[in-house]
A and B are shown apart, each in its own frame.
Chain A
């Protein structure tokens, strides 16, 4: 009996949380189209999510491209298909690794920062202060972060794709002795716009998830520093889980 009681409570709490999160997503989206448009606030968030993430994306994408080339070469060499390494690196980066790795990195970096900042604002009553000054906290705090996530994730992914392919080229041509012209030709030969745009659509979805979940968790923070810590951890874990789960569904949607 106690099991059913606990399970029931867990289900109710889960559904309540999902509903509250969906409501926050909805409101953040609706406020995109309602004035006032705080461009300074928006550009600050874009800089924080986008420009601030460039160094980590650069390092991750470079080494991912490099390791893909090494592993691809090892595998393809077994059936004399080393020439396909460029194609595999390009397709892997644009369709999957570029958006997913960028999403996971931004969730860990910018998502954690969003949850910690909003969580601190919540526990120090700055969110309430905004409301008492007749400013809607969702419009002022969440909407700019939501837009920044949706816009900057695809841009970071383009950067990540390019850097990853460059990393693969570097290893293939300089270390594994591939012909530079042939490698580049194989890189572009089978790469279609659909591959790139599919990856960018995923990135936009991930950007929305990161911003929405992180802001929600920040707004739920209570109980001082410990609460902010819990909100930050929760934001990263839930964002990353949702990125991996939604990745499958977006991929399935794009295939259909």
Chain B
């Protein structure tokens, strides 16, 4: 279970999070939506401990991340998998070295066994025969899928997705959405996704939470969010420039 309790975070004088409360039950897939630059990725980075809150608590499976030392936190992260917005593949390593990286670092498996797992994970994301390619040789969609294969290499219990469909064409976006939905269902993981792509949100979420002005405005099922009376949510999900959300 993931829980953010009254989390505040500022960068210089810019208050990004102003008391975020969010609870994700085990096995649940929650999508946080919100405009660009509203602090969605900051929430994600709090959950995996890359950023520490100025105030408030981040609790994962009953463990307050603030109580962990840097070494303990690093060990704790083994239960996470994370897909980055730009995939963040290590560009000096080949595809198989990227996916097998975490196995090489944290297991004593021989190279052959790692290679087998890499092939299996690549097959799960619909890719074959690209083990020896370098990230620079891959398209945006392939990079995302390799990033996803790397995120699930250690069979994590929690997967975090940062803007999984940003920068992809509509068809590739749908491929990634289907993959994430399948992954959440088949691997029964807890997932937290950050996106402003509503099509993606409806497809992969059990629950959707709207972040606005540094706070979670509303949480609900995709249907509840679609039927929300809140004008901010209606403006956002309908992608309208008219409404209470000001575009500076």
Decide if A128 touches B88 in the complex (CB within 8 Å): yes
Contact between chains at A129 and B88 (CB < 8 Å): yes
Residue A134 interfacial (CB < 8 Å): yes
| Minimum distance in angstroms from A121 CB to a CB of chain B | 8
Contact residues, B61-112 vs A (CB, 8 A) = 70, 74-75, 77-78, 80-82, 84-86, 88-91, 101-102, 105-106
Partner among B81, B82, B86, B105 whose Cβ is within 8 Å of the Cβ of A135 = B105
Chain A residues with Cβ under 8 A from B85's Cβ?
A: 125
**Are A129 and B74 in contact, with the CB atoms below 8 A?**
no
- Residues 56-83 (chain A) with a chain B CB within 8 angstroms: none
CB distance from A26 to the nearest CB of B (A): 13
Residues of A in contact (CB 8 Å), total 15
CB pair B90 A126 closer than 8 Å: yes
Scan residues 207-225 of chain B and give those whose CB is less than 8 A from a CB of chain A. none
Complex: A121 Cα to B45 Cα, angstroms: 17
- Given A132-B80, A134-B75, are A125 and B86 neighbors across the interface (CB < 8 Å)? yes
Instruction: With A133-B105, A134-B105 as known contacts, state yes or no: A128 contacts B74, CB within 8 Å.
Output: no
Q: In the complex, A124→B167 CA distance in Å?
A: 14
Give the distance in Å from the alpha carbon of A125 to the alpha carbon of B74 in the complex.
Answer: 17
Interface digits, A80-120 against B, CB 8 Å rule (1 contact, 0 not)? Answer: 00000000000000000000000000000000000000001
Instruction: For residue B130, give the distance in angstroms from its CB to the closest CB of chain A.
Output: 19
Residues of B within 8 A of A180 (CB): none
Cβ of B81 to closest chain A Cβ, rounded Å = 8
- Residue-wise, chain A 125-154 has the 8 Å CB interface mask toward B (1 for contact) of 110111111111000000000000000000
Contact of B88 among A36, A124, A134, A136 (CB under 8 A): A124
Q: Are B88 and A131 in contact (CB under 8 A)?
A: no
Q: Are B105 and A132 in contact (CB under 8 A)?
A: no
With an 8 Å Cβ cutoff, the count of chain B residues facing the other chain is 23
Q: Is the CB of B82 within 8 A of A132?
A: yes
> Does B48 sit within 8 A of A, measured CB to CB?
yes
Chain A residues within an 8 Å CB radius of B75: 134
CA–CA, A128 to B106, complex, Å? Answer: 17
Contacts of A124 in B (CB 8 A): 86, 88, 91
Q: Which residues of A contact B48 (CB under 8 A)?
A: 132
Please give, as numbers and ranges, the residues of chain B lying within 8 Å of A136 by CB-CB distance: 70, 74
Sampled A-B contacts (25; CB under 8 Å): A120-B91, A125-B84, A125-B88, A126-B89, A128-B45, A128-B50, A128-B84, A129-B84, A129-B90, A131-B50, A131-B74, A131-B77, A132-B48, A132-B82, A133-B101, A133-B102, A133-B105, A134-B75, A134-B77, A134-B78, A134-B106, A135-B74, A135-B102, A136-B70, A136-B74
Across the A-B interface, the 3 shortest Cβ-Cβ residue pairs: A129-B88, A125-B88, A132-B82
Known: A131-B50, A133-B150. 18 other contacts (CB 8 A): A125-B86, A125-B88, A126-B89, A126-B90, A128-B45, A129-B89, A129-B90, A131-B74, A131-B77, A132-B48, A132-B77, A132-B80, A132-B82, A134-B74, A134-B105, A135-B101, A135-B102, A136-B74
